[in-house]
Amino acid sequence: MGKVRDSAPAVLARANLRASPGLAVAYWALVVVRAVLPAVLTLGLGALVRAVQEGRSVTGALVAVGATFALVSVLGPIHTQVAALVGDRTSGHLQAELTRACSSPKGIAHLERPGLADELVAARDFDLGILGPPISVSMGFVAAGLVELLGGAAQAVALATVTWWGAILIGGAWASTHWLLRSSSFWINRDETNVKAEQRHADYAYRLAVEAAPAKEVRLFGIGGWVVDRFAARRRRLLDLQWESMRLKQRSLLTVFAVLAVVHVVVLVWLVRGALHGDRTLAELVVAAQALVGVTALGVGASFSWALDSAAAPVKAVWKLAARMADEGALAASPDPAADPAGLPEREIRFRDVAFTYPSGGEPVYERLNLTIPAGRSLAIVGRNGVGKTTLVKLLCRLYDPTSGAVEVDGADIRRFDVDQWRERVAVVFQDFVRLELSMRDNVVPASIGAGTDPAVDPVVQRALVVAGAEGLAELDRTLSKAYEGGTDLSGGQWQRVALARALAAVELGAGVIVLDEPTAQLDVRGEAEIFERLLDATRGRTTILISHRFSTVRHADCIVVIEHGEVVEQGTHEELMALDGRYRTMFDLQAARFALGLDAEESEDGEDVDMDHLDHLDHLDGAGQLDGADGIHGGEVDHG
Ligand X SMILES: Nc1ncnc2c1ncn2[C@@H]1O[C@H](COP(=O)(O)OP(=O)(O)OP(=O)(O)O)[C@@H](O)[C@H]1O
> Applying CB under 6 A, which part among 36-44, 285-293, 316-324, 389-397 lies near ligand X?
389-397
For ligand X, the binding residues in 104-123 under the rule CB under 6 A are: 112
| Type of residue found at 258 | A
Residue (318 or 396) nearer to ligand X, CB: 396
Residues 6+ apart with CB under 8 A from 589: 618, 620, 621, 624, 636
One DSSP character per residue, 386-426 reads TSSHHHHHHHHTTSS--SEEEEEETTEEGGGS-HHHHHHHE
Contact 514, 316 (CB under 8 A): no
For ligand X, the binding residues in 13-52 under the rule CB under 6 A are: none
For ligand X, what does the binding mask look like between residues 394 and 433, x meaning CB under 6 A? -------------------------------------x--
> Applying CB under 6 A, which part among 84-92, 354-362, 463-471, 584-592 lies near ligand X?
354-362
| Type of residue found at 277 | H
Residue (390 or 591) nearer to ligand X, CB: 390
- Least Å from the CB of residue 509 to Mg ion: 26
Give the residue, chosen from 364, 386, 492, 510, that forms a contact with ligand X under the rule CB under 6 A. 386
Is residue 453 involved in binding ligand X (CB under 6 A)? Answer: no
Residue (73 or 385) nearer to ligand X, CB: 385
Closest CA to 48 of 35, 67, 70: 67
Give the residue, chosen from 222, 337, 362, 450, that forms a contact with ligand X under the rule CB under 6 A. 362
Give the residue, chosen from 80, 358, 374, 630, that forms a contact with ligand X under the rule CB under 6 A. 358
- Least Å from the CB of residue 83 to Mg ion: 51
- Least Å from the CB of residue 116 to ligand X: 13
Residue (310 or 390) nearer to ligand X, CB: 390
- Least Å from the CB of residue 395 to Mg ion: 13
- Least Å from the CB of residue 444 to Mg ion: 23
Residues 6+ apart with CB under 8 A from 19: 86, 89, 90, 92, 93, 94
**Based on C-alpha coordinates, what's the Rg of the chain?**
36
- Least Å from the CB of residue 356 to ligand X: 9
One DSSP character per residue, 330-370 reads PPP----TT---TT--SSEEEEEEEEE--TT-SS-SEEEEE
One DSSP character per residue, 226-252 reads HHHHHHHHHHHHHHHHHHHHHSPPHHH
Is residue 385 involved in binding ligand X (CB under 6 A)? Answer: yes
Task: For 572, list phi and psi in degrees, rounded to 5.
Answer: 165, -175
DSSP code, position 479? B
Binds 398, which of Mg ion, ligand X, none (CB < 5 to 8 A, cut-off by type)? none
Give the residue, chosen from 185, 390, 586, 591, that forms a contact with ligand X under the rule CB under 6 A. 390
| Type of residue found at 477 | D
DSSP code, position 134? -
Q: Which residues bind to ligand X, rule: CB under 6 A?
A: 112, 358, 360, 362, 365, 383, 385-391, 431
